[in-house]
Chain A
Amino acid sequence: QLQLQESGSGLVTPSQTLSLTCAVSGGSISSGGSSWSWIRQPPGEGLEWIGYIYHSGSTYYNPSLNSRVSISVDKSKNQFSLKLRSVTAADTAVYYCARAREQAYFDYWGRGSLVTVSS
């Protein structure tokens, strides 16, 4: 059974960089046909896809966040990471990592990590 677990800072100062890591267990991040995404959900709101990475390292980001986002993969540790620069209060959200089966729909999710942007 694949499991994903987010970790990182729960409190970030405005204008700084949000950093989160998603550890994958029960399967390989290099498995073909899968891509690995970050998705966020502001308190009381809906879901927003942030970006994805493939095990090859290829990435694509939501155009609305593109200039501030980077996602990287560490195959040796079976994990992938998110960095979001120049954060504001609007970036306060629960951040989920998820696997897209066949690079399509999200069948495995982490439990989510609440990140609050505040001074």
Chain B
Amino acid sequence: GIQVEQSPPDLILQEGANSTLRCNFSDSVNNLQWFHQNPWGQLINLFYIPSGTKQNGRLSATTVATERYSLLYISSSQTTDSGVYFCAVLSSGTYKYIFGTGTRLKVLA
């Protein structure tokens, strides 16, 4: 089955710093989403981005489907950005999302 890898696994930032999270996937996909799992366990939708680039405030994402990767950019990080960031893909012909292993982000005040 399709493999989804995220890097880095852990990231510690000072408040105000920028970061780039990466998601690599091993096969073609129909959908790709980025989620933020907050400290209370909730999965928050960040981007639905099977291809192209989107921006939402301090966050932006780019997916290059032909090269099988997606990037999530966080600018001017805040302590509320802490948590785990997941990318999830829906591979062709299947009925489930495959989640990456996540990037655990801690932003220090």
Chains A and B come from one and the same complex: no
